[in-house]
Amino acid sequence: MKSSLLAAVALAQSVAGHAIFQQLWVDGKDMISAGHCKKKKKNEKEKAKLTPFYGTTCNRLPTSNTPVTSVSSAAVACNVNGRTGVASKCPAVAGGSVTIEMHQQPNDRNCKNEAIGGAHYGPVTAYLSKVADSATADGTSGQWFKIFEDGWAPAKSGSGGVGDGDAWGTKDLNSCCGRMDVKLPAELPNGDYLLRAEAIALHTAGSAGGAQLYMSCYQLTVTGGTATALPADAQMVKFPGAYSARDPGLLINIHAAVKSYTVPGPAVLKSGTVKVAGSGCDGCAKTCSLSAAAGKASKAVFEPTSPADEIDVGAKRAVAFTS
């Protein structure tokens, strides 16, 4: 009875709490705004190095925060309209880190708001695809390998015996203001990559096709690598093709007791990161936040006047988010 009630509540919440990966930090530097650091002198030096990238985005920002539910559709690679590149590429360093950032509404970076709401519990993953040009690669023709996952762990106490009360990757996102640190393997060859950030919500995953996938693709140019080929243990997959609607990690009733959970997709690269769900924010909570002025300027560019609106953002994409 209890699990049935929880499932009914989850169904009611299924249209609420939608979210999307938006911002990207590279080694603690926000790629969206130049005004994010309080240490002015240090920030000016950083700004000088990264001037071409501030005020731009290397994210193929989806046109809405609606999830992808068909794992056989082309949209499962980089979301709806994600096959088309954007002008900017974010610089990254092999062995460094990036921080992916998710929110429900455009540039609502208020940490008091859940990054992904509506009891949207599930894993968070990150994949890379080595491409000739990250601004033109469509995401569906290349091959991907997983470098990060934050999946599931049993609750220490107070879960009531059901999966909703357990630790999940998306709960970690909410605990960390929507941010998740992803280490880039040191043995990456130099060149362009697509970075695919993904959160999977399992609140309606009790039937095939019920899982909700939220992903964005960021365009990177990686330097500092010493390898000439990808790591030998990289398990390559394609999107679509990596997932089946009946994979145990996508077909699961989390409103009943969960005894084990396998994150869908291939194994994480040996030099990648398998984060223990519920284990904290790592360094992402320490990154400096947007200044008030930068936040207002950024919000003015991206936020629709109503949930149904689409806005003209010039070189950026029109975005319509729902609550």
Residue range 218-246: mean pLDDT, rounded: 96
Three state DSSP letters for 250-318: CCCCCCCCCCCCCCCCCCCCCCCEEECCCCCCCCHHHCCCCCHHHHHHHHHHHCCCCCCCCCCCCCCCC
- Is the pLDDT confidence value at 8 over 90? no
* Separation CA 48–CA 37 (nearest Å): 14
Residue 219 included in any domain? yes
User: Is the model more confident about 64 or about 53?
Assistant: 64
In DSSP notation, 103-170 reads ESSTT---TTS-SS-TT----EEEEEEEES-TTT--SSSS-BEEEEEE-EE--SS-STTSGGGSEEHH
Confidence of residue 278 (pLDDT cuts 50, 70, 90): very high
- Is the pLDDT confidence value at 320 over 80? no
Contact in structure between 122 and 202 (CB atoms under 8 Å): yes
Residue 139 included in any domain? yes
- Is the pLDDT confidence value at 186 over 90? yes
Pair type for strands 90-93 and 145-150: unpaired
* Least reliable range by pLDDT among 6-10, 28-32, 119-123, 319-323: 6-10
Peptide bond into 154 cis (omega under 30): no
As for how many domains the chain has, the answer is 1
The type of residue at 211 is A
Confidence of residue 161 (pLDDT cuts 50, 70, 90): confident
- Is the pLDDT confidence value at 195 over 60? yes
Task: Give percent above pLDDT 90 in the chain.
Answer: 65
Q: Per mean pLDDT, which of 39-43, 190-194, 224-228, 307-311 is the most reliable?
A: 190-194
Q: Is 16 helix (H, G, I), strand (E, B) or coil?
A: coil
Residue 291 included in any domain? no
Retrieve residue 274's tokens.
């398998």
- Is the pLDDT confidence value at 159 over 60? no
Residue 12 included in any domain? no
Q: Is 34 helix (H, G, I), strand (E, B) or coil?
A: coil
Angle at 241 between CA 131 and CA 213, to 5 degrees: 90
Which structural domain range is residue 115 located in? Answer: 17-32+52-277
Q: Note the pLDDT tens digit of each residue in 105-130.
A: 987 888 899 999 989 999 999 999 99
Residue 311 included in any domain? no
CATH number at residue 210: 2.70.50.70
pLDDT of residue 281: 83
Residue 285 included in any domain? no
Cβ neighbour number for residue 97 with a 10 Å cutoff: 18
Residue 296 included in any domain? no
Confidence of residue 290 (pLDDT cuts 50, 70, 90): very low
Residue 245 included in any domain? yes
- Is the pLDDT confidence value at 103 over 60? yes
